[in-house]
Amino acid sequence: MDPPPPPSLSRPIKRALIICDMQPDCIPSLFAKSNKDESSSTQLGIDPVARREAFINAVQYALISSISNPMERDNAFIIFNGLKFPSGYEGLDPEHPLYGSLVRFNKLLGDEKAHWFMDGYTSIDSTLMDILNDKNEGVVNESGASPVQHAVIWRQGHIPAVSTLSEHLSKNAITDVTVVGAKASQAVQATIQILAEYHPGIDVSVVKEAIADDSEERLNSMVQHLLPLYSRVASLEEYVEATCGLEHFAQAMERNANEIAMVPKKRVCYYVNCERGGHFSIYIHHLTNRKSTPMAEGTYWVSHPKQKWYEDIFCAKQFHCPLGKGVVDFCDEPAFSKVSMFLKGRDCLDDKGKLLALAKDFMPETYIIEGGRECWDGIDCPPELNKSSGASSCDATGPWFVKETNKNGGRAITVCRHASECLALANNPQETYVIQRHVLNPSMLTDGRKWHLKMYNLLICEEDGVSWTLRCNKEAFLCAASTLWSAENTSAEAQLTIRRTKRFRDGASMSELGNADYSDMFRQCTEIVSTVVQRAIEGNGLQGRPGKKQFEMFSTDFVFDATMNKANLIEFNFSPVVYDPLAKQELTTIGMKEYQRLYELHGDKVEINDHNMIKDVISIVFFPKETMRKGCESDDVGSWNVIQSFTGIAPSS
């Protein structure tokens, strides 16, 4: 076949989107293995289900973008390219390198059991067809045709039907073709090579997020080395901007959600992982898992694409937002989320220096200093010290802890014996440090090790911006040091109690503490948390967001004195470590890796498993009405107890 003449430079742009092999028989195999050793991709840290979902969503978004141009005539022509064989795979060579196995299986099992890609059994992905049909339903243009034209081209081998494809491209005066779908090493690359060979005048591109293959390694090789030889590799953001524009895409996504919501008992919600961090990935696991959150039945959470928002040149970090910069139902950037997972003003509690202003009466002896000082002169300091020299004959004994105010975790803490040593440890002029004396006469475990109590808390502010509710989780955790404690031993093993080792609950044995009264411990801690949170709200440190619900789960750490009658607040930790073995979260700390090891050994009997705690957070925040309808006699949900409600200062805007 002779190639058609190149299009005229004055010829208007007419786009086509070719969607390859989006068929139920093809999709389950995507990202299922490594082409290095044929092992499961899961062993390589790749979640095949999540990768498939992201790919399928990207193809859907490419289709929505292609048919949502504000100028109807500029909508792309849609071509579905798929595999379809006749009954018994008639005409297909059983030795075919790609599809011969289908013939051999069919010969053994017959059409009823071996009918992959067979006529009468296969089809184009129904969701893609629904998107197309919804766009065309009841609508015709001035010529009496549907606003979005499409074609389906079936093939019975590796190479697409060249003549049929060329006929559609020529008939519709196509100048630009974008190829998406599966598989990158098969139909996608074959289609691109045909376009390069027979239609050199057509501009060809692929959307990298919207192509897939059996393995991540093979896909990456195709995207980096082969596909660029024949086409331009574009991002989904670039494609959306070129086809309908980011603003119109956001509007199209909203219309799509509204149309789905009109179906009885069906509602679609969009989420975006903007990579800000926190607990977002775990929350989304629960929102998208109906077994985890049964009251979400009828609500469908769908991933929305993202784009670059801005870059912080000082910390060299790229920030993202939803594609089109629209507001979605849930994401980890508060400005673009209908529900914020970060409290406005959280820093007043999370920053150890700012916390001191709200909770000094509940904390051990604590001081704030700027890094790089040579003496204590002019600042608050332990009374035993000579301010000009930083030492005295009766130095302030500890131990003492030196912490950067804006960091959490044991790696941010240095331990020293005397207060006079603190200045040398707080040596970075760019940082602010907390200097904190160890609790005097602390409670110890019966074996002589140091411990602290870690509590998890949930604070919610409603859309009115003034109604706050504090919940504390009834099940707290024992965190113990690994070696015996003494005031003279400044090693991390003796002084730092970071990892959770046991769950405390009403009625459980507390033999490690000499059978202390857990209910009294819980009461002391919740009273402190409630008082400090109330001060933060009434002082306008914590602020509401007008028209937007916000919530955050955080932890608080307490050290008791030997009498168990005084709980000392050590710190608030926002975005604390949580471990949900079912959420397939990244194991970023030694402690989380240890929790995973124990879970693999003991299953659900392990002490550290936060699955139910997080599941209940999702129920409380996202499905409060459904949760209350489940027959709760009080406002408590699971192990989350309502401690107090507050009325804050009305936001100005």
- What's the CATH number where 547 sits? 3.30.470
Residue of 311 and 377 predicted with greater confidence: 311
CA distance 132 to 254: 16
| 476 closest CA partner among 447, 452, 493 | 452
Note the pLDDT of residue 391: 45
- Indicate if 546 and 577 belong to the same structural domain: yes
Is 450 domain-assigned?
yes
* Span 414-434, pLDDT tens digits: 999 988 888 888 888 888 899
The 8-class DSSP code of residue 208 comes to E
Mean pLDDT over 453-480 rounds to 96
- Indicate if 450 and 541 belong to the same structural domain: yes
HEC string of 348-400 equals HHHCHHHHHHHHHHHCCCEEEEECCCCCCCCCCCCCCCCCCCCCCCCCCEEEE
- Indicate if 623 and 485 belong to the same structural domain: yes
Return the H-helix or E-strand segment holding 454. Answer: strand 449-461
Is 496 domain-assigned?
yes
Is 486 domain-assigned?
yes
Mean pLDDT over 214-225 rounds to 93
- On the question of pLDDT at 463 being above 70, the answer is yes
- Indicate if 168 and 298 belong to the same structural domain: no
* Span 4-13, pLDDT tens digits: 555 444 568 8
User: How far from each other are the two terminal CA atoms of the chain, in whole angstroms?
Assistant: 66
CA-CA distances (angstroms) from residue 376 to 364, 371, 420, 438, 467? Answer: 19, 11, 9, 20, 43
Let me know the angle formed at the C-alpha of 157 by 154 and 163, rounded to the nearest 5 degrees: 55
- On the question of pLDDT at 263 being above 80, the answer is no
- Indicate if 529 and 594 belong to the same structural domain: yes
Note the pLDDT of residue 339: 97
- Indicate if 427 and 459 belong to the same structural domain: no
Mean pLDDT over 489-512 rounds to 87
* Span 280-319, pLDDT tens digits: 999 999 998 866 666 666 677 888 888 889 888 777 788 8
pLDDT band at 141 (very low <50, low <70, confident <90, very high): very low
Which of 415, 437, 459 finishes a domain?
437
- Indicate if 401 and 522 belong to the same structural domain: no
Instruction: For residue 509, give both structure tokens.
Output: 């044995």
| Domain extent at residue 36 | 15-84+122-243
Mean pLDDT over 441-468 rounds to 96
Note the pLDDT of residue 426: 87
- Indicate if 401 and 520 belong to the same structural domain: no
Contact between 169 and 199 under an 8 Å Cβ cutoff? The reply is yes
| φ, ψ dihedrals at 637, nearest 5° | -125, 120
Buried-exposed string 331-362: b where 16+ CB fall within 10 A, e elsewhere: bbbbebbebbbbbbbbbbbbbbbbbbebbeeb
- On the question of pLDDT at 165 being above 70, the answer is yes
User: Please, which residues have CB within 8 angstroms of residue 559's CB and are 6 or more apart in sequence?
Assistant: 364, 439, 442, 443, 452, 453, 567, 568, 570
**Percent of the chain, pLDDT > 90?**
60
Angle, helices 246-261/236-243, rounded to nearest 10 degrees: 90
- Indicate if 332 and 199 belong to the same structural domain: no
Task: Please give the full DSSP string across 54-74, using - where no structure is assigned.
Answer: HHHHHHHHHHHHHT--SSGGG
Note the pLDDT of residue 474: 95
User: Going along 77-123, which residue ranges are E strands?
Assistant: 77-83
| 604 closest CA partner among 640, 575, 579 | 579
| 168 closest CA partner among 330, 348, 66, 16 | 16
User: Going along 213-316, which residue ranges are E strands?
Assistant: 232-234, 267-272, 299-303, 306-312
Note the pLDDT of residue 448: 94
- Indicate if 234 and 270 belong to the same structural domain: no
Is 5 domain-assigned?
no
Mean pLDDT over 167-185 rounds to 95
CA distance 594 to 175: 57
Is 89 domain-assigned?
no
Q: How many domains does the chain have?
A: 4
3-state secondary structure of 547: coil
Mean pLDDT over 594-606 rounds to 92
- Write down the pTM of the prediction: 0.78
Q: Which long-range contacts (CB under 8 A, 24 or more apart) does 5-8 make?
A: 5/201, 6/200, 6/201, 7/173, 7/175, 7/201, 7/202
Name beta bridge partners: 569. 558
Q: Tell me the helix, strand and coil percentages in the chain, rounded to 5.
A: 35, 25, 40
Instruction: For residue 649, give both structure tokens.
Output: 């200062």
* Span 14-42, pLDDT tens digits: 999 999 999 999 999 998 865 444 444 43
CA-CA distances (angstroms) from residue 627 to 220, 334, 339? Answer: 44, 25, 18
- On the question of pLDDT at 476 being above 70, the answer is yes
Is 40 domain-assigned?
yes
Residue of 304 and 143 predicted with greater confidence: 304
Which of 325, 340, 355 finishes a domain?
340
Is 382 domain-assigned?
yes
* Span 388-420, pLDDT tens digits: 444 443 456 679 999 888 777 666 789 999 888
- Torsion-angle region of 646 (φ positive above 0: left; ψ -120 to 50: alpha; else: beta): beta
- What is the CATH number for 205? 3.40.50.850
pLDDT band at 505 (very low <50, low <70, confident <90, very high): confident
CA distance 213 to 216: 7
* Span 110-140, pLDDT tens digits: 999 999 999 999 999 998 998 888 776 644 4
Contact between 475 and 454 under an 8 Å Cβ cutoff? The reply is no
Angle, helices 246-261/48-66, rounded to nearest 10 degrees: 110
Which of 405, 437, 469 finishes a domain?
437
- Indicate if 336 and 371 belong to the same structural domain: no
Torsional sign, CA 376, 377, 380, 386 = positive
- Indicate if 431 and 476 belong to the same structural domain: no
Is 587 domain-assigned?
yes
